[in-house]
């Protein structure tokens, strides 16, 4: 075995050692709704001139979000937290998320989950990776499913049904 191979194997083992040493807690499932209010809690911060047919945004647009999360589909339903971060519009009806779910109520109040990945809004159910978290969700891994619950084609507002499935490290 080449000397650099031993180093790579050692680095791989060290990167996995928290998982191998501590294991994972039980699966956490959370269900809630995300409220996207175009121009109110979503702000276009970068724009191009390349239109995407059927989209409110152009290819390459970057949108910063601070979306309310609630227990039910109505915006007046009990708040759970916020989805804070950004998405980038691809050259199709796909956005790429780079955001956090910040819990502001309930048993996970003060904790967050980081999510990242593509969201092809033409699909009835989409899946985005959970790549970490804070507080209760420290070192989380998992996924979240996204379903469009309702959308207003005139103003771009939407309600998104979200299910989170995440494991956290036993520390």
Q: How does pLDDT run across 49-84, given as a tens digit for each residue?
A: 999 988 888 999 999 999 999 999 999 999 999 999
Question: With 0-12 CB in 10 A as exposed, 13-18 as middle and 19+ as buried, what is 12?
Answer: exposed
**135-150: string of b/e by CB count within 10 Å (b at 16+)?**
ebbebbbbebebebee
Structural domain contains residue 12: no
Looking at every residue in the chain, the average pLDDT score rounds to 88
Q: Taking Cα atoms as reference points, which of 100, 96, 107, 71 lies closest to residue 83?
A: 100
Number of domains observed in the structure of the chain: 1
Percent of the chain with pLDDT over 70: 87
pLDDT tier at 145, thresholds 50, 70, 90: very high
Say if 97 falls within a structural domain.
yes
Assigned domain for 11 exists? no
When pLDDT is averaged across residues 87-98 and rounded to a whole number, the result is 93
pLDDT, residue 170, reads: 73
Predicted TM-score (pTM) of this structure: 0.83
The CATH number of the domain where 44 resides is what? 2.40.480.10
Residue 45 lies in a domain: yes
Residue whose pair of structure tokens reads 């003060």 in the numeric block? 110
pLDDT of residue 101: 98
Vertex 128: Cα angle to 57 and 145 (nearest 5): 100
153 in a structural domain: yes
Provide the residue range defining the domain that includes 151.
23-167
Specify if 109 maps to a domain. yes
Domain assignment present for 120: yes
Q: What is the pLDDT of residues 5-49, one digit of tens each?
A: 665 555 445 455 454 555 777 899 999 999 999 879 999 999 989
Domain membership of residue 5 (yes or no) is: no
């Amino acid at each position: 075995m080449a000397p650099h191979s031993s180093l790579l194997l050692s680095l791989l083992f060290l990167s996995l050692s928290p998982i191998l040493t501590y294991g994972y807690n039980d699966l956490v499932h959370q269900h809630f709704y995300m409220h996207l209010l175009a121009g109110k809690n979503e702000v276009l911060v970068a724009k191009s001139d390349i239109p995407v047919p059927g989209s409110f945004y152009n290819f390459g647009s970057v949108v910063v979000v601070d979306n309310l999360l609630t227990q039910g589909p109505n915006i007046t339903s009990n708040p759970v937290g916020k989805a804070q971060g950004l998405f980038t519009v691809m050259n199709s009806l796909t956005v790429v998320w780079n955001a956090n779910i910040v819990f502001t109520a309930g048993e996970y109040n003060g904790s967050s989950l980081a999510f990242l990945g593509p969201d092809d809004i033409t699909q009835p159910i989409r899946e985005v990776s959970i790549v970490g978290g804070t507080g209760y969700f420290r070192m989380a891994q998992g996924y979240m499913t996204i379903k469009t619950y309702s959308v207003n084609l005139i103003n771009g507002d939407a309600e998104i049904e979200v299910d989170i499935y995440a494991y956290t490290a036993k520390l």
